[in-house]
């Protein structure tokens, strides 16, 4: 399982935080180019951030821990390699239509209320009705299963095997693990689970702290 | 001169191949950069917070459904499909992190700053929040519960900071400069006036 990216509580990464209250959006011109090219290609090909993250998590170690947008560059070179070699193409009309739609509807200081509230979430979000009833409800005490999927997953190591309580259930969403692995868009229920600091870190926990995190139903079992 | 000339060269190569193959439109690429440098940033979030501070009915709508209430101001889109707003109080202080990558509510805060994406912040915030916050200048007493939100799936979080004392009767325009990006991530309080 790739774990380059799964950093919660990993002491080998503990270091002072280089915090600057104000910093430019892009520090160097190439960062903006990488970000914008990725945005354009996601709009063109249909966004699959799960696949994007899955490729990122398997980058060579030095590249993952290098500059942030260098990571994005590495992903694009891999994800779109067959387009770069010319093996695959996209119809010119589709590229023109994507450019038009972005300029016309997306790249604006504000968008109409119904677009922001109702249209955009359907395009950029993964919320979807699940085919099965929810197994858990608010207040249930659950344990995060001991095992994890071997590929991309949104089940962090530091909550694996730990007990928490469900505080919210906001419906379901496309299951990231399967979406990244096979492109499947089947949905699983999503719960917000609260963990007390001491459950996660034992005696090392700081007083009066808790962590809340959204977890997909397959990650959970009744405690 | 770039600090990463080798990466900058690879980016140029990528862009020129994509352009040659007709897969990107360079003027739209320019427009995307400009959009995120000029239109989308923490000022959007500050407008949302200022309105919540000055209008109770809006605050209630915001806490009930962040995405919809934020859409009233015309903000929404990528990384904003399900925005949840977390209200700080005298008892609970909320702070946001993404331990697995860099999830962040773009429509209201713009793209995340480097420190938010750093290995140090991502690894430490869930394990030693009081130490991290103190290091960033925010010392919270032990009786304040610290609730850390790890953005792992659909939800993206915006912290609604406490309104500073001494701002009664202030307009949104006066309040906006007090509402910093750091306060809306939860690593700072809103700025005290004066």
B135 interfacial to chain A (CB closer than 8 Å): yes
Cα–Cα distance measured from residue A37 to residue A183, given in angstroms and rounded to the nearest whole number: 22
Q: Is A214 within 8 Å of B145 when comparing Cβ atoms?
A: no
Confidence at residue A140, expressed as pLDDT on a 0 to 100 scale: 98
pLDDT at B1 over 70: no
Which residues in chain B have their CB less than 8 angstroms from residue A35's CB? 32-33, 36, 111
- Specify the 3-state DSSP secondary structure of B120: helix
Residues on chain A touching B33 (C-beta within 8 angstroms): 26, 32-33, 35-36
In tens, the pLDDT along B46-64 reads 999 999 999 999 999 999 9
Chain B residues close to A20, C-beta within 8 Å: 113-115
Contact list, B155 vs chain A (CB under 8 Å):
170, 192, 214
Q: What pLDDT is recorded for position B96? A: 98
Does the beta carbon of B134 lie under 8 angstroms from any beta carbon of chain A?
no
* Active-site entry in B89, B101, B118, B123: B101
Q: For residue B157, what is the enclosing H or E element?
A: strand B156-160
In a 10 Å sphere around its CB, with 0-12 CB exposed, 13-18 middle and 19+ buried, how is residue B122 labelled?
A: buried
pLDDT digits (tens, 9 = 90+) for B154-167: 999 999 999 999 99
Q: pTM of the full predicted structure?
A: 0.96
B48/B158 Cα distance (integer angstroms): 10
* B16 touching chain A per CB within 8 A: no
pLDDT of residue B176: 98
Report DSSP letters for B85-102, one per residue: EEE--SSEEEEEE-SSS-
- A99 and B10 within 8 Å at the Cβ level: the answer is no
Interface test with B, best of A208, A218, A219 (most B CBs within 10 A): A208
Residue A94, min C-alpha distance to chain B (Å): 9
Rounded distance between C-alpha atoms, residue A181 and residue A55, angstroms: 10
The pLDDT of residue B76 is above 90? yes
ipTM: 0.96
Residue in B109, B107, A129 with CA at minimum distance from that of residue B96: B109
Between positions 35 and 54 of A, the ones with CB within 8 A of B are: 35-37, 39-41, 44, 47, 53
Comparing C-alpha atoms, which of A2, A75, A5 is closest to residue A41?
A: A75
Tokens of A122: 């359907």
Query: Exposed (0-12), middle (13-18) or buried (19+): which is B37, by Cβ within 10 Å?
Result: middle
Q: Is B57 within 8 Å of chain A by CB?
A: no
Cβ distance B179 to B49 under 8 Å? Answer: yes
pLDDT of residue A20: 87
- A vs B, Cβ pairs < 8 A, gives 293
Which residues contact residue A87 at a Cβ distance below 8 angstroms, ignoring those fewer than 6 apart?
none
* Average pLDDT of every residue of chain B: 97
Average pLDDT of span B37-46: 96
User: Is B22 in contact with A92 (Cβ distance < 8 A)?
Assistant: yes
Give the nearest partner residue to A36 out of B29, B118, B180, using CB atoms: B29
Q: Report pLDDT for A2.
A: 66
The residues, ordered by sequence, that sit 6+ positions from B88 with a Cβ below 8 Å of its Cβ are B94, B159, B160, B161, B162, B186
Q: Render pLDDT for A67-122 as a digit per residue (tens, 0 to 9).
A: 999 999 999 999 999 999 999 999 999 999 999 999 999 999 999 999 999 999 99
Q: What is the pLDDT along chain A (223 residues), one digit of tens a residue?
A: 568 999 999 999 999 999 988 899 999 999 999 999 999 999 999 878 888 999 999 999 999 999 999 999 999 999 999 999 999 999 999 999 999 999 999 999 999 999 999 999 998 999 999 999 999 999 999 999 999 998 999 999 999 999 999 999 989 999 999 999 999 999 999 999 999 999 999 999 999 999 999 999 999 999 9
- Band (pLDDT 50/70/90 cuts) for residue B2 is confident
> Cα(A189)–Cα(A173) distance, rounded to whole angstroms?
6
List the one residue out of A81, A87, A70 whose CA is nearest residue A41: A81
Cα(A189)–Cα(B55) distance, rounded to whole angstroms? 34
- The torsion defined by the Cα of B22, B24, B30 and B35, in degrees rounded to 10, comes to 150
Q: What is the pLDDT of residues B122-146, one digit of tens each?
A: 999 999 999 999 999 999 999 999 9
- The pLDDT value recorded for residue A1 is 58
């Amino acid at each position: 399982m790739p774990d380059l990216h799964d950093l919660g509580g990993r002491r080998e990464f503990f270091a002072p935080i280089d915090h600057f209250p104000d910093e430019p959006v892009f520090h160097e011109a190439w960062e903006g180019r990488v970000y914008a090219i990725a945005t354009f290609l996601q709009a063109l090909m249909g966004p699959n951030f799960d696949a994007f993250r899955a490729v990122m998590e398997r980058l060579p170690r030095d590249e993952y821990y290098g500059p942030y947008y260098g990571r994005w560059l590495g992903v694009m070179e891999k994800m779109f390699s067959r387009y770069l070699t010319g093996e695959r193409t996209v119809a010119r009309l589709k590229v023109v239509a994507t450019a038009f739609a972005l300029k016309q509807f997306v790249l604006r200081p504000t968008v109409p209320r119904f677009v922001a509230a109702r249209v955009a979430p359907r395009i950029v979000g993964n919320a979807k009705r699940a085919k099965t009833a929810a197994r858990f409800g608010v207040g249930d005490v659950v344990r995060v299963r001991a095992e994890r999927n071997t590929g991309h997953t949104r089940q962090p190591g530091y909550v694996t095997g730990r007990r928490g309580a469900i505080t919210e259930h906001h419906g379901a969403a496309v299951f990231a693990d399967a979406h990244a692995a096979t492109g499947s868009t089947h949905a699983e229920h999503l719960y917000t689970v609260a963990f007390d600091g001491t459950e996660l870190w034992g005696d090392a926990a700081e007083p009066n702290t808790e962590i809340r995190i959204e977890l997909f139903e397959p990650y959970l079992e009744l405690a | 001169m770039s600090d990463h000339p080798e990466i900058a060269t690879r980016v140029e190569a990528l862009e020129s191949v994509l352009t040659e193959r007709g897969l990107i439109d360079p003027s739209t690429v320019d427009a995307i950069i400009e959009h995120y440098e000029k239109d989308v940033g923490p000022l959007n979030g500050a407008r949302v917070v200022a309105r919540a501070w000055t209008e109770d009915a809006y605050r209630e709508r915001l806490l009930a459904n962040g995405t919809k209430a934020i859409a009233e101001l015309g903000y929404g889109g990528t990384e904003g499909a399900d925005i949840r707003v977390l209200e700080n109080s005298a008892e609970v202080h909320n702070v946001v992190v993404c331990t697995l990558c860099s999830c962040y509510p773009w429509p209201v805060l713009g793209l995340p700053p480097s420190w938010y994406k750093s290995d140090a912040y991502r690894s430490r915030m869930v394990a030693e929040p009081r130490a991290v916050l103190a290091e960033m200048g925010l010392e919270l007493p032990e009786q304040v519960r610290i609730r850390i939100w790890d953005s792992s799936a659909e939800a993206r979080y915006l912290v609604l900071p406490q309104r500073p004392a001494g701002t009664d009767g202030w307009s949104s325009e006066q309040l906006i400069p007090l509402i910093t990006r750091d306060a809306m991530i939860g690593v700072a309080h809103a700025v005290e006036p004066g």
